[in-house]
Amino acid sequence: MNILFVCTGNTCRSPMAEALLKHKMENVSVQSAGVFAHPHVQASDHAITALKEKGITCTHKSQQITDELLDWTDIVLTMTLAHKQMLREQYPTYSEKYFTLKQYVQNREDDSPLDDVIDPFGGSLETYNRTLTELEHLIDLLIDKLAMETKEGNE
């Protein structure tokens, strides 16, 4: 399965989610991108530090959403409802692939303003750590869901 995490600039939330999933689940292909990303920018210093404190290396370079990425991915997990809505407007062909991360792990079809993952951009290391804790919980739920789907697919 190919998974794409999406946030705004692809320097905080989506690279942390990507790094967490790569660290915890080796047999999945994962990338991240931003709806307003400047290409080839490394993850924010606090994102790198927060991950490093958990023993996770992050060598990320940002990328913008493209048709090629959307063709590659099986599922797009956005950090906010606004990201999901932006993708629906800009790339409607792929709408069936779009979910907020929270919506997907909670097996919901409905959109909720409560789906947003905290944006740490410009915040302290403590703020990044709070976001990383939230993402780690969501990534653990995602791994459980993917394992269950794989098991059901093999039965």
Query: Any catalytic annotation for residue 130?
Result: no
Determine which one of 7, 12, 58, 115 is catalytic: 7
Determine which one of 116, 119, 130, 140 is catalytic: 119
Q: Catalogue the long-range contacts made by 141-146 (C-beta closer than 8 Å, 24 or more residues apart).
A: 141/105, 141/106, 142/21, 142/77, 142/101, 142/104, 142/105, 143/21, 143/24, 143/25, 145/104, 145/105, 145/107, 146/1, 146/25, 146/28
Query: Any catalytic annotation for residue 58?
Result: no
Determine which one of 12, 13, 58, 115 is catalytic: 13
Query: Any catalytic annotation for residue 88?
Result: no
The residues that are catalytic are 7, 13, 119
